[in-house]
Amino acid sequence: MEYTNKTVLVTGAAGFLGSHVCDRLLEQGAHVIGVDSLITGRKENLSSALSRTTFTFIEADCSTSPRSYLPATVKPDVIFHLASPASPPIYQQFPIDTYLVNALGTHQLLQYLLTENRQGRFIFASTSEVYGDPKERPQKESYWGNVNPNGVRSCYDESKRFGEMVCGVHSRDFGLDVRIVRIFNTYGPRMSPLDGRVIPNFMMQALKNEPLTIYGDGTQTRSFCYVDDLIRGILLLGSTDSAKNETVNIGSPTEKTVNELAEMIQAATHATGEYVYKPLPSDDPTQRLPDISKAVSLLGWKLEIDFPTGLEKTLEYFKTQV
């Protein structure tokens, strides 16, 4: 399937990932309806999209039924459900909005497709957080995870898991075309400087010559994917006909400790500030490394941007945010 001339609904359109998804879809000739409540999304992320006649922005809460915000004449061919706070400190600040948009929002969108638009294709943005603090390494899609059902991160982790269950019910039991992408740590331009995740924090601190805040002893690992690579993977999942009802990890297969990341960012910025060690937040996963073999074989996806190049591009953006 091509996106050209397709009508595509993107929830979370003003967010870091959502805005890049909108831009790439518009470049491919789609008519895009972007919806965002703007609790964490930023309209400035859409400045390029808003200049196009093929883009419509609607400010609405995506945990409500799309009947309440979509014009009745609009029947999306594809829905990307990306709306959700995604940074740990921010989703913990908005726990109810977070669990509602991932749980009830996913239900509302799929019920809308089931009752009014059965041909529509649905892509749910899930997360590596469904693996919790994983006991397997790397994490394959078949791994069920190790998640605290009632901890500070559960409003996000468990609602994404619930959202995946809702996707499963609507594909298995009701025959809808549903795809799940499990997104691993991603970075790049348009992340909010106040986002609170590790790369925005370290870059803003380094640019201001402040000490970098390392949580815990910094030996925990993450695998960081540059945003353009991730967006290409998400769009391929939506356009590849054989990916119907599949769940696919998208992320970088190169693992780094937080200490290594801090050193790389210090070197890239020529910062001389020290490191300051702070307590590890509770339930902070000790490791994350995706097995991406399914994305490679099913979607023909591959990474194109190496980490130093991605960091450099991201740094150029954060320099404009200081």
DSSP code per residue over 155-202: HHHHHHHHHHHHHHIIIIIT--EEEEEEE--EE-TT--TTS-SHHHHH
Q: Going residue by residue from 295 to 314, which x/- string records binding to ligand UDP, judged by CB under 6 A?
A: --------------------
The residue range among 109-117, 173-181, 193-201, 237-245 that interacts with ligand UDP, by the rule CB under 6 A, is 193-201
Determine which residue in the list 20, 31, 222, 294 makes contact with ligand UDP, applying CB under 6 A: 222
Q: Does 203 bind ligand UDP (CB under 6 A)?
A: no
Looking at beta carbons, which residue is closest to ligand UDP? 197
Stretch that binds ligand UDP, among 75-83, 230-238, 276-284, 307-315 (CB under 6 A): 276-284
Q: Which of residues 185, 247, 266, 269 is near ligand UDP by CB under 6 A?
A: 185
Piece in contact with ligand UDP (CB under 6 A), picked from 21-29, 213-221, 234-242, 310-318: 213-221
Residues belonging to the chain: 322
CA torsion 71-114-20-155 (nearest 10°) is 110
Q: How far is the CB of 79 from ligand UDP (least distance, A)?
A: 25
The reply on whether position 197 binds ligand UDP by CB under 6 A is yes
Task: Give buried/exposed letters for 140-166 (b at 16+ CB in 10 A, else e).
Answer: ebebebebeeeebbbbbbbbbbbbbeb
Considering only residues 75 to 94 of the shown chain, the ones binding ligand UDP according to CB under 6 A are 87-88
Between residues 172 and 278, which has the closer beta carbon with respect to ligand UDP?
A: 278
Omega of the bond leading into 138 within 30 degrees of 0 (cis): yes
Q: Which stretch binds ligand UDP (CB under 6 A): 24-32, 57-65, 157-165, 196-204?
A: 196-204
Among 70, 178, 258, 299, interactor with ligand UDP by CB under 6 A: 258
Compute the distance between CA of residue 301 and CA of residue 230 in angstroms, rounded to an integer.
9
- Return the range that interacts with ligand UDP (CB under 6 A); candidates 8-16, 137-145, 212-220, 263-271: 212-220
In the sheet that holds 78-81, the strands lie side by side as 55-59, 31-36, 7-11, 78-81, 121-127, 177-183, 247-250
For residue 238, report the phi and psi dihedrals to the nearest 5 degrees.
-75, -25
Binding letters toward ligand UDP, positions 129-168, x by CB under 6 A: ----------------------------------------
Nearer to ligand UDP, 92 or 245 (CB): 92
Q: Binding of ligand UDP at residue 220 (CB under 6 A)?
A: yes
CB 60 within 8 A of CB 37: yes
Among residues 162, 215, 275, 317, which is the contact residue for ligand UDP, using CB under 6 A?
A: 215
- Which among 13, 20, 15, 25 has a CA at the least distance from the CA of 54? 25
| Residue (of 212, 193, 181, 180) closest to 278 by Cα position | 212
Binder among 24, 162, 284, 317 for ligand UDP (CB under 6 A):
284
Could you give the CA distance from residue 92 to residue 85 in angstroms, rounded to a whole number?
Answer: 9
Cα dihedral across residues 163, 132, 215, 95: positive or negative: positive
Of 8, 10, 62, 214, the residue at the interface with ligand UDP (CB under 6 A) is 214
C-alpha pair distances (Å), 126 with each of 48, 51, 205: 26, 30, 29
Binding site for ligand UDP (CB under 6 A): 87-88, 185, 197-198, 201, 213-215, 220, 222, 258, 280-281, 284
